[in-house]
Amino acid sequence: MFGFRLLIFWKREKVIMSHSRRTLFERLRIGLTWFFTLFVIILAIFGQSSYQASLLGKILFALGGSLAAIGAFGRLWCSLYIAGYKNNTLISEGPYSLCRNPLYFFSFIGALGVGLSMGNFTVPVMIIAGFTFYYPLVVSGEEARLAVIHGERFHNYCKNTPAFFPRFSALNEPGEYTVQTKLFRKDIGDAIWFIWIVFFLQLIAALRTLAYIPTLFTLY
């Protein structure tokens, strides 16, 4: 009987290990994110946004700055819950009670805010297209691994929780939550880079106005 249970345990651990390896899309996620970020910065440096000086441009900047702030603080909220617990523990409270991938949702909101703050529609459309075509591939790999690790608990979680767009009426927050402070402190910088980029883009726009930076093309 003990040998049979040991065999079952060994097979389960073998299956978990076989699914613990990240997919190609997961491994490339951070690199592609930084590549796309640098591409957007290059567009901002050498491209003149056609609506930036107009009333529409001001509205886009205000909307974009607000979304960037929401994205940054939303990522902080998510990091508070998963710092040190990712993969090892099935988190279903706080932002993870709203949807299964709140970190990616707030990343999308923040990135869209950065694009809109540039005062054009070209970059926001590129951001929407990138998230639409790439992130579902990342999420599918992560959720396949979590399904193996957490089994029925994860399947029930998927049944009751939306994948991407939050259902705010389902918010469930504990009265107390243990936070791994060192890991959370590390995540703070990753969470608020949206706000830093918005300020950087405004500095670039100011330098272009003063003719310190040439305009090579127009973004609509």
Q: Would you say 72 and 110 are in contact if contact means Cβ atoms under 8 Å apart?
A: yes
CA distance 219 to 47: 6
Helices (H), the chain: 2-20, 24-46, 55-82, 102-117, 122-150, 152-160, 181-191, 193-209
Give 122: exposed, middle or buried? Use CB within 10 Å, 0-12, 13-18, 19+.
middle
Of 127, 112, 168, the closest CA to residue 32 belongs to 127
User: So what's the pLDDT on residue 8?
Assistant: 37
User: So what's the pLDDT on residue 156?
Assistant: 94
User: So what's the pLDDT on residue 20?
Assistant: 53
Q: Would you say 116 and 63 are in contact if contact means Cβ atoms under 8 Å apart?
A: yes
What φ, ψ does residue 128 adopt, rounded to 5°? -60, -45
Render each residue's pLDDT in the chain as its tens digit; 220 residues. 444 343 333 444 444 444 456 676 667 777 877 888 888 888 888 888 888 778 998 899 999 999 999 999 999 999 989 887 776 789 999 999 999 999 999 999 999 999 999 889 999 999 999 899 888 888 888 888 889 888 899 999 999 999 999 999 999 998 888 888 888 888 887 788 888 888 888 888 888 888 888 888 888 8
Tokens representing residue 207 in the block: 């330098």
* Maximum CA extent, the chain: 80
Please state whether 210 falls in left (phi above 0), alpha (psi between -120 and 50) or beta: alpha
